[in-house]
Structure 1
């Protein structure tokens, strides 16, 4: 998360050190536990428990909205998205006597009477830092214990403070401000620590203070190394299996210096990832470790036919497995170590069909998670992702009839729509002498049997946009009884619209993204919409880099995101950087200005996990005009002469011509000049969305010429003295054009020339149609 390394470490030590008061323990009895998502027995799931502090009775709707935002954001991030079904989620609604938390935002702010005693500044400690948001750990666990079946060994607490100030902490008692623009991204980062065992990838310890140099041995961290890429490949160490591949967090998996709070001497896999910069995804290295740790907390083999006593060869064996949202687990069967062919990934094995030889045999079911998130065989073959269940089969044992009423004993939840890419499952009663059949239908039409009839991968159906009705029909082959279960399938992709600040120039061409030209910072707001209820999470990426969560602006979720040539420093971190180094980074990282053309893609993820198609626009950033020493607005009678400094025409109307003397600068924005414009030896001339009804002659400009969106009735002459850079001539309309010196740059927006063109103008203009 964006909370710094010392904040995470300190919080792990400090978040639970305050002793609970008797009043806190007693008050826990009056709190309300709201099951948000229950996918199974808490003893067999990983349980997230979200607690609220500083929310009065009147604030509880706010708490609920904060919980929704945190969870909806979490479920868009892999591997949480694929393994959402492995989690139970509970919200504990706690009514505090006062609204807000202690020392928010400063030490002089009042302390509040709240149930969990949450506070900034490490609990109002002047020696701490503002962003360290602590909680009374004993009180938090007392309230969390109200979520029946959860305990400190099978749950993660996330305490949300009723605050819009940025802050949080890591550890088993993680905290986050509920209402800050970035707060929903703190939770997955903290789960990276507490659940995944991942380390921070920051190259500094305190904000704005660069880290030193690592001098130790090869780090234990799975995503830090001192090895070169060649050494990783030669020794098959660390992330060698992922090297060179596009990173899920942007760029390529490789070797990027900095991490473990140090700038030098240690390397990480990606330029940026969830463990370095809030808003990006986990890269493949972190995602692989997270996948292992999530699976290890639950047990992918959930049960099945009892194994304690030998079973007969005259019966059906069963196994129960977990069911990821994105794919089905693989089940294989073997007898005495030899694979049983053509079992079709079934959760059952009919021993009667095997005709085993008389005597005793060992039958084994192996459940494996085939997720592409894991490449390391040691992880794939670990108990987290591969589990077995074995039986002794004795042909001399006779299985007595066991009545098992036909029933659907478990399934994908039906109280919310499922996504078009989900795997939907049913579990049935498990008789010993027969196998209930499952048949699927979509909108009343049968779905072809894919082999394992208990799991249906909707992604293979390539559903059309809209809402569909999915039905599983379970039938008993002996009694011909049948039971059904039905789901609503939301196959409509979410839509995201964008709103930009006003550009200098807009260019639209059929079949191509809209292009915009800016000569200074610009903002982007994204708004997601969907045909179903729930949050649409908007994302964007810059020039093909990693997808980045759209959270508004770090200081205000309601404000648009701001792009600048080198980014904006917000509380010791840089956001919105168009230059080298990435979209967000530490302020002391090396970067060059990002002038030029940029492609910004955007998309949405809806509440059921449908990912909308990415769309794009292009933004070209050119350097801003120089600062004005004189501003002319409104009407100016007669000729205007620029004799010193920088004269700016801003929505001005000049009734005569304009002369720009040597060494001076003219910037004309959304203005009108009735006569001609002449400059000789000027430092710079910029005509931005400006009309000139005469001719324009710019000779020997020493710094730059920028003509964007201008309309020149007469001749435009760009005459070089051999010293200026290439002029910018974009999206304009001129009577005729003459150029000498460097050919103009058109920024992708050609200029219409009504008359003749002479000289080196061909790259920046086109004749009138």
Structure 2
């Protein structure tokens, strides 16, 4: 699926399936594609993609599905990897734990030549739409659950990175209790205070106070290791706690180290097992991250000298007769690493003895390409494109780089596209050496993202008002083939993968004040108030679309009805107690709401006046009123999307809302605490305005959402 170099020199991800029949192999391939494309959108996999070879092993099962899915009473299946929920049908385990026959997995992985336990990671996907996975020696995940593509990087965090769960529970819905043990060995859990971490220079002290890549600020957040209290983690949420968010910097740093450790940082170099002459070129071939180049430093007898990145022409140095020691040090300057010990572990050296009395014989090696960044998929706008060549002892191959036919860059083996300021669109990049030419398509056009919300009470442009749950669907598109990953974030928190809804990828995401509990976890909780929701997508080339946003204000829902009127009510209507709801009803006479009573009018038509004095609540939602409106000392007054054709007097009400409504008569607002808020959706006032409503005609005067919370 992706081969970037010899398996002996790469981190090899081997993906295999279980419970997929012959007829379901295409489904397995689609599941793998989705898992991989989501993983490539997450750092550090995105930046270190070139360090990985990815192999897919198609295993045909005689039965469809895996065992004990979803319950212990569900059928046991006979499948090649014997995968099953409940830890392979163990009543003492937990339902979401998918384990397998590791011996069988190893036998299949051994089919990939050049891979051994030290340079590979097995990921097994079970043919199931039920949420589950595991991250022991090898990683497992369900193949087609809405969230399963996020389970994979979480479980690889366990298997490869040695990261621990940051869950504050073990059994979902059951608090995890208090941690009373010693300082955890986990790099991302601690008992130390922030001050103690700094003073002792332990745990994640280098990252304290930084904005977390998974949202919030890196600090000390209680809960983790399946305990609710008594132990702390770096971020409020990361992929090791809440699937959908990124790794935070603490976990990401560890993952960079672990991925690098599975590779040969110096893939190849001039042989160093015997002295070499001073009449030749020395070279190293470092690994090639997607986002940046590694740094090669050359020294002669301990003194740094200038080399041509990954080559050093000894003939240019004027070495004195005798022997000299030349060292090439390859290091990774990534900003993802701050721990000197980790950076040292990501540094390699190669040393040669140079003897000026040795004459290097002709090696007959002609300059030629031997490998490169794959040409069969588009290149993203921020990539470093590379080629590897043969290495003649007598010279340095010179690469001719051209962008859309125009010469660019130097003559070395890589080209950082970030330095070219490319226009949006499609470009052609070539690298030529002698009569050989490699060609890449560069995709610099960002993906687009469309959002779709459920019907609001009112809206103005990208500003919406709701008084209850609402849904959001994101759709990412791109001008090139490939999987597009969409994301959103709320009020500047961490970017969150859009996967639909936990029960189905076809359903939109649902926001509500209390959230929705699914299998013991709460999803979509959004406190009452004003929120900015940003959204964007990442295409298959790794390009980010520009983040856009919309604003949602959620207000108090109407009180529960104790009496409901539909159809036509003729004559006067007096509400003296309880909650009277008019549901698309017509009232021909005047309406009065007495002290402590509530009226909720949704749609419909009030032909007469409406008078409320010290009412508990008056909500006019999309209602037409022909007469005058008087509301005094109402605790919850909402006039949203209403059409008031008479005058209006709003006095001494608590946090009144007048949003997206039309008032054709004069309107007077006095003594309200605070002044009426339009929530960013302007009203249309045809008559005169006075007091606190004098300037509502001039457009959005939305108040800070704290003014809404009192309702």
Matched with 1:6 is none
Matched with 1:420 is 381
Aligned partners of 2:448 and 2:323: how far apart in 1? Answer: 60
Is 1:170 the counterpart of 2:135 in the alignment?
A: yes
Mapping 1:85-104, distance limit 5 Å:
85-104=50-69
> Does structure 2 retain, via aligned residues, the 8 Å contact 1:628–1:648?
yes
Residue 59 of structure 1: SS of its match in structure 2?
helix
1:546-602 Cα deviation digits (max 9, x unpaired): 001011111111111111113221111111112xxxxxxxxxxxxxxx111100000
> Does structure 1 retain, via aligned residues, the 8 Å contact 2:598–2:616?
yes
1:401-448 Cα deviation digits (max 9, x unpaired): 110122101110011111111110011110011111012110101113
Match of 1:535 among 483, 488, 501: 483
Superposition TM-score, scaled by structure 1 size: 0.88
Change (3 A) 1:767 1:232: closer
Cα-Cα RMSD: 1.7
Is 1:442 the counterpart of 2:372 in the alignment?
A: no
Matched with 2:36 is 71
Is 1:704 the counterpart of 2:636 in the alignment?
A: yes
Is 1:45 the counterpart of 2:20 in the alignment?
A: no
Change (3 A) 1:261 1:127: closer
Match of 1:756 among 680, 688, 698: 688
Is 1:453 the counterpart of 2:386 in the alignment?
A: no
Mapping 1:680-719, distance limit 5 Å:
680-701=613-634, 703-719=635-651
How far did 1:151 drift?
2.6
Aligned partners of 1:505 and 1:234: how far apart in 2? Answer: 54
Matched with 1:526 is 474
> Does structure 1 retain, via aligned residues, the 8 Å contact 2:166–2:223?
yes
1:445-469 Cα deviation digits (max 9, x unpaired): 11132xx721111122121121110
Aligned partners of 1:216 and 1:99: how far apart in 2? Answer: 44
Residue 584 of structure 2: SS of its match in structure 1?
strand
Is 1:277 the counterpart of 2:242 in the alignment?
A: yes
> Does structure 2 retain, via aligned residues, the 8 Å contact 1:597–1:620?
yes
Match of 2:579 among 643, 646, 650: 646
How far did 1:191 drift?
1.3
How far did 1:230 drift?
1.9
Aligned partners of 2:409 and 2:6: how far apart in 1? Answer: 32
Is 1:733 the counterpart of 2:662 in the alignment?
A: yes
Aligned partners of 2:515 and 2:688: how far apart in 1? Answer: 42
Between stretches 742-751 and 460-469, larger displacement belongs to: 742-751
1:631-676 Cα deviation digits (max 9, x unpaired): 3334444443334422222223333332223332111112221221
Residue 229 of structure 2: SS of its match in structure 1?
strand
Matched with 1:118 is 83
Aligned partners of 1:206 and 1:126: how far apart in 2? Answer: 13
Match of 1:496 among 438, 443, 449: 449
Is 1:299 the counterpart of 2:264 in the alignment?
A: yes
Runs of 5+ in structure 1 lacking a partner?
Answer: 1-35, 475-480, 509-513, 579-593
Match of 2:458 among 502, 505, 516: 505
1:692-723 Cα deviation digits (max 9, x unpaired): 1111112332x311111111111111233xxx
Aligned partners of 1:126 and 1:315: how far apart in 2? Answer: 68
Aligned partners of 2:378 and 2:115: how far apart in 1? Answer: 27
How far did 1:756 drift?
2.4
Aligned partners of 2:459 and 2:421: how far apart in 1? Answer: 37
Residue 656 of structure 1: SS of its match in structure 2?
coil
Mapping 1:122-133, distance limit 5 Å:
122-133=87-98
Aligned partners of 1:107 and 1:361: how far apart in 2? Answer: 70
1:508-562 Cα deviation digits (max 9, x unpaired): 2xxxxx1000000111011110111111000000000000101111111111111
1:169-213 Cα deviation digits (max 9, x unpaired): 111222111110111111111111111121111222221222233
Matched with 2:536 is 603
> Does structure 2 retain, via aligned residues, the 8 Å contact 1:522–1:564?
yes
How far did 1:48 drift?
1.1
Match of 1:380 among 343, 347, 352: 343
Aligned partners of 2:385 and 2:133: how far apart in 1? Answer: 36
Between stretches 535-544 and 406-415, larger displacement belongs to: 406-415
Aligned partners of 1:545 and 1:763: how far apart in 2? Answer: 34
Residue 687 of structure 1: SS of its match in structure 2?
strand
Residue 233 of structure 1: SS of its match in structure 2?
helix
Matched with 1:220 is 185
Aligned partners of 1:649 and 1:349: how far apart in 2? Answer: 85
How far did 1:758 drift?
2.8
Mapping 1:70-469, distance limit 5 Å:
70-341=35-306, 343-344=307-308, 346-382=309-345, 385-449=346-410, 453-469=412-428
How far did 1:232 drift?
1.9
Matched with 1:478 is none
> Does structure 1 retain, via aligned residues, the 8 Å contact 2:478–2:539?
yes
Is 1:677 the counterpart of 2:610 in the alignment?
A: yes
Aligned partners of 1:225 and 1:322: how far apart in 2? Answer: 34
> Does structure 2 retain, via aligned residues, the 8 Å contact 1:53–1:116?
yes
Aligned partners of 1:225 and 1:711: how far apart in 2? Answer: 58
> Does structure 2 retain, via aligned residues, the 8 Å contact 1:406–1:482?
no
Change (3 A) 1:468 1:567: same
> Does structure 2 retain, via aligned residues, the 8 Å contact 1:406–1:483?
no
Aligned partners of 1:670 and 1:464: how far apart in 2? Answer: 51
Between stretches 243-252 and 634-643, larger displacement belongs to: 634-643
Is 1:660 the counterpart of 2:660 in the alignment?
A: no
Aligned partners of 2:412 and 2:353: how far apart in 1? Answer: 27
Matched with 2:507 is 559
Matched with 2:708 is none
Aligned partners of 1:298 and 1:182: how far apart in 2? Answer: 29
Matched with 2:703 is none
> Does structure 1 retain, via aligned residues, the 8 Å contact 2:138–2:159?
no
How far did 1:257 drift?
1.6
Residue 352 of structure 1: SS of its match in structure 2?
helix
Aligned partners of 2:516 and 2:543: how far apart in 1? Answer: 33
Aligned partners of 1:282 and 1:62: how far apart in 2? Answer: 28
Residue 118 of structure 2: SS of its match in structure 1?
coil
Aligned length: 697
Aligned partners of 1:292 and 1:126: how far apart in 2? Answer: 37
Runs of 5+ in structure 2 lacking a partner?
Answer: 701-711
Superposition TM-score, scaled by structure 2 size: 0.95
Aligned partners of 1:75 and 1:767: how far apart in 2? Answer: 44
> Does structure 2 retain, via aligned residues, the 8 Å contact 1:738–1:758?
yes
Residue 211 of structure 1: SS of its match in structure 2?
coil
